Chains A and B, each alone.
Chain A
Amino acid sequence: MRYRGKVLLILALGVSLSIASLDGCAKKKATTPPAPPKVEAPKPKPAPPAVVPKAPEKQEEGVPRDLMFKTVYFDFDKSNIRPDQRSALENNAQLLAKYGTVKVRLEGHCDERGTDEYNMALGQRRTDSVLSFLTSYGISDSRSETISYGEMRPADPGHNEAAWAKNRRCEIIITAQ
Chain B
Amino acid sequence: MKHNCIAKKKFQYIVFFLSKICYICILIINAKECRAQSEVYLSIKTGGSEYIGIGIGGFEAYGDTTGIITRDSTLVIMVKNTFVDDLNRSSLFQVKNLSDSLQAVKGDMFAQWRAAGAQYYVFGAEKIGSNTITVTVIDLKTAATVLNEEYRIESQRPWYTAHVIVDDMIELFTGLRGSTSSQIAFMSPYRGDSHEVYLVDADGRGRKQLTFTKTLKLSPAWSLDGKQIAFSSLIDLTWSLMTVNVNTGQSLDISTWKGLNITPSWSQVDTDIIAFSSNRDGNSEIYTCRSDGKQIRRLTNHYGIDSSPSWSPDGQKIAFTSDRSGQPAIYIMNRDGSDVHRLTFNINSYEDLPCWSPRGDRIAFVILFDRGFDIATVSPSGDDIVMLTSGEGSNENPRWSPDGLRIIFTSTRLGGKNLFIMNRDGSDVRPLTQDSLSFSPSWSPAFSGNDIRVTSRRQGR
Contacts and interface: CB of A to CB of B under 8 A. Distances in A.
B353 A117 contact: yes
Nearest to A123: B260
Interface in A106-122: 113-118, 120-122
Contacts of A125: 284, 305
Contact of B368 (A113, A124, A152): A113
Contact of A105 (B216, B218, B237, B352): B237
A77 interface: yes
B215 to A, nearest CB: 11
Contacts of B219: 116-117
A136 interface: no
A25 interface: no
Contacts of A118: 305, 307-308, 321, 323, 328, 352
B128 to A, nearest CB: 54
Interface stretch (A1-9, A43-51, A95-103, A141-149): A141-149
A82 to B, nearest CB: 17
Interface in B308-344: 308, 321, 323, 327-328
Given A115-B352, A116-B440, A77 B284 contact: no
Contacts of B263: 117
Contacts of A114: 328, 350, 352, 368
Contacts of B440: 116
A124 B260 contact: yes
A20 to B, nearest CB: 17
Interface string A146-174: 11111010000000000000000000000
B245 interface: no
Interface residues of A, number: 21
Nearest to A115: B352
B262 interface: yes
Contact of A121 (B279, B373, B397): B279
Contacts of B372: 113
A50 B305 CA distance: 27
Interface string A62-98: 0000000000000001000000000000000000000
B366 interface: yes
Nearest to B218: A116
B353 A120 contact: no
Contacts of B305: 118, 121-122, 125
Contacts of B443: none
Contacts of B328: 114, 118
B396 interface: yes
A160 B376 CA distance: 26
A114 B394 CA distance: 11
A121 B372 CA distance: 19
A145 B307 CA distance: 22
B113 interface: no
A148 B239 contact: yes
B350 A124 contact: no
Contacts of B234: 147
B368 A120 contact: no
B259 A121 contact: no
B277 A121 contact: yes
Nearest to B353: A115
Contacts of A122: 305
27 contacts: A77-B327, A77-B350, A115-B353, A115-B397, A116-B218, A116-B219, A117-B218, A117-B263, A117-B307, A118-B305, A118-B307, A118-B321, A118-B352, A120-B218, A120-B307, A121-B262, A121-B277, A121-B305, A122-B305, A124-B259, A124-B279, A124-B284, A125-B305, A128-B282, A146-B259, A147-B238, A152-B191
Interface of A: 77, 105, 113-118, 120-122, 124-125, 128, 145-150, 152
